[in-house]
Amino acid sequence: MHATAAPLASSWGWAPDPSPKRSPPCLILSKQVKHELSYLAWPGKEWVEPRTAEGGAPMYDALIVGAGQCGLAIAHGLMREKVTNVICLDENEPGKEGPWVTYARMVTLRTPKHLTGLEYGNPNLTFQAYYEARFGQEAWAKLDKIPKEMWMQYLQWYHEVLEIPVQNSTRVQLIEPLDAASAEAGFRVTVARCGERQVMHARKVVLATGIQGGGEWHVPQFVKDAVPRQLYAHTSEAIDFAALKGKRVAILGGGASAFDNAQFALGQGVGEVHLFVRREQLPKINPIRFMEFSGFLKHFADLDDTTKYAGIDFFMSYNQPPTNDTFNRAAAFPNFTLHLGSAWQTLTPTADGQQVRIISAKGNEGLFDFLIVSTGLLTDARLRPELGACADQIATWGDSFQAPPGMQRNQLIDDHPYLGPSFEFREKQPGAAPYLSGIYAFNYSALVSMGLSASALSGSKYALPKVVGGITRSLFLEDSPRILSAYLSYREEEFVGVWPRPATSALKAALKGSPNQLPPLPPNAKAAAAEAPQVFKTPSLTRMYVSTPPQ
């Protein structure tokens, strides 16, 4: 039932414009954005000196893994700061970066439509400006949430108008330090592009790798052990729903993604969907809605470790419930059934290997043709192949946080990386792996250290400047010996004034023979002077004072 990742059709009938970037309103908006960016271009000097790596190979100042919304925005932020030798690598084909037209099966984004952050304060670079350019202000006023296909089109426009360098169909396989004992040497990045192995080099590496970028999507071991691989898939995988038409499908999980897949499957003609939830009740509270104010989004990272730990433990206890519209859309299908308090207890394939018999914790029993697992993800750097050379040296919350007496540990939190203030990795043993400060984890694994930030659109407005500023700071400090040497040697003359002023020929003639005698005043000059303000110069001061003669 697995299929290659292909763009998902809209499940509510909206047909995306095949070439929205080329429509006249978007072309006008693009021109306006470029014009406005020219106003903000100062200082315009590129200041990072190019470096080379092994054998004179070129070295990027920043290599960004991922060309979705975060990767593009980080590249734009660096380019604004005149760090232009950057590149985004993405394993997907052009137009399929991120989840929006592949495995994201919701109808709309879950975040409020007014979200900002990617635009760095430029109003015409916001999604609202893009939407209004295409459909008008009245359509924007009527819009509830952003259709996911529309968001993908916006990101494509954003990519094009900002001329961000992206290399697609490139999977990063391994990131290695050029010198493990140095924080400044840079990295060797092995990639696979179109089936061929290549080696790239970069001073800094940013992991803009999304929700799963700090670990992997999680399938419970008992599912892997009991069910033939062709009979189940995780929600993050491509699924051939056409082959499931008229079939019975079971979904495990009670979060937003589970209901996204339920309503999508039913909309594609699946015969029945049974959704099994471990909890007795669906969560009703969404902590994210409380967190969405500037103080919390901007300064969660400034809290002490104990408060951060407790805050994320609370967050994980609720997680994110389905949106009301997604739940209602799924529940409206007569062939949808919700089983609460019904974790899967027993999974048994049939003798012919075509179906799976499920017995739930409440004793419910049924035969199903396909299983969809919506059990979230695990965060653990050791699960990331590209971090195979360094994962064991990365500090985690389990290593670094000393819980106060009576505080219960949470293994899910403990496995998260213990990041620095700019999303950089920290070393587990001080001095053992200084190079780790050159790798920035701008993905969901930053949640515990930085709050809603990377991979959470709500926090991008405050998170993006932190990672961009961290990279530029590090580059500047590393280059400071060269920069300061050039500064101390700076001798370019700017002032061209001459004193004493060159005398005119008339003045020279008047002073001839009596260099200390001024030429005589012209007629009525004395009368004119009596009417003008007087200038007095005191012998002891160099200031000039102006006064008006008494009347």
Average pLDDT over residues 370-380: 96
Residue 170: per-residue pLDDT: 98
Residue 511: per-residue pLDDT: 61
For the segment 43-54, what is each residue's pLDDT rounded down to a tens digit?
999 999 999 998
If we measure between CA atoms, which residue out of 64, 102, 99 comes closest to residue 206? 64
* Cβ burial, residue 539 (10 Å; 0-12/13-18/19+): exposed
If we measure between CA atoms, which residue out of 476, 475, 458, 474 comes closest to residue 70? 458
Average pLDDT over residues 452-470: 94
- In the structure encoding, which two tokens stand for residue 452, read together? 């809603």
Strand partners, 204: 62
Length of the chain: 551
* Residue 512: band (very low, low, confident or very high) from pLDDT cuts 50, 70, 90: low
Residue 454: per-residue pLDDT: 87
Check pLDDT > 50 for residue 123. yes
3-state secondary structure of 345: strand
Q: What percent of the chain has pLDDT over 90?
A: 82
Please state, as a whole number, how many other Cβ atoms lie within 10 Å of the Cβ of residue 256.
20
Check pLDDT > 90 for residue 5. no
Residue 24: per-residue pLDDT: 83
- In the structure encoding, which two tokens stand for residue 429, read together? 């043993």
Q: What percent of the chain has pLDDT over 70?
A: 87
For the segment 257-275, what is each residue's pLDDT rounded down to a tens digit?
999 999 999 999 999 999 9
Average pLDDT over residues 382-397: 98
Which residues lie closer than 8 Å to 487 by C-beta, 6 or more apart?
none
For the segment 465-503, what is each residue's pLDDT rounded down to a tens digit?
999 999 999 999 999 999 999 999 999 999 999 998 887
Residue 194: per-residue pLDDT: 87
Identify the structural domains of the chain with CATH numbers, from first to last. 219-284+321-375 (3.50.50.60)
| CB-CB contact of 291 with 111 (8 Å) | no
Per-residue DSSP letter, 523: T
In single-letter form, the type of residue at position 300 comes to: F
Check pLDDT > 50 for residue 545. no
Distance CA 171, CA 201 (A): 15
Average pLDDT over residues 216-224: 97
Distance CA 424, CA 459 (A): 17
Question: What is the distance of C-alpha 551 from the center of its chain?
Answer: 72
| CB-CB contact of 131 with 139 (8 Å) | yes
Distance CA 12, CA 271 (A): 19
Which residues lie closer than 8 Å to 205 by C-beta, 6 or more apart?
62, 63, 64, 65, 175, 187, 189, 438, 439, 440
Which residue stretches of 60-162 are H helix? 69-80, 127-135, 137-142, 148-161
Per-residue DSSP letter, 381: G
* Residue 516: band (very low, low, confident or very high) from pLDDT cuts 50, 70, 90: low
For the segment 65-81, what is each residue's pLDDT rounded down to a tens digit?
999 999 999 999 999 99
Residue tagged 């000059």 (tokens)? 525
Distance CA 494, CA 342 (A): 78
Check pLDDT > 70 for residue 285. yes
For the segment 528-537, what is each residue's pLDDT rounded down to a tens digit?
555 554 444 4
* Cβ burial, residue 405 (10 Å; 0-12/13-18/19+): exposed
What is the average pLDDT value for the chain, to the nearest integer?
A: 90
Phi, psi of 373 (to 5 degrees): -100, 120
Which residues lie closer than 8 Å to 443 by C-beta, 6 or more apart?
66, 70, 207, 208, 209, 210, 211, 212, 213, 214, 454, 455
Distance CA 126, CA 134 (A): 13
Residue 25: per-residue pLDDT: 85
Rounded to two decimals, what is the model's pTM? 0.87
Average pLDDT over residues 509-517: 60
Please state, as a whole number, how many other Cβ atoms lie within 10 Å of the Cβ of residue 222.
12
Residue 11: per-residue pLDDT: 36
Question: What is the distance of C-alpha 485 from the center of its chain?
Answer: 35
Q: Among 104-108, 199-203, 499-503, 546-550, where is mean pLDDT lowest?
A: 546-550
Average pLDDT over residues 295-314: 97
Q: Among 26-40, 452-466, 495-509, where is mean pLDDT lowest?
A: 495-509
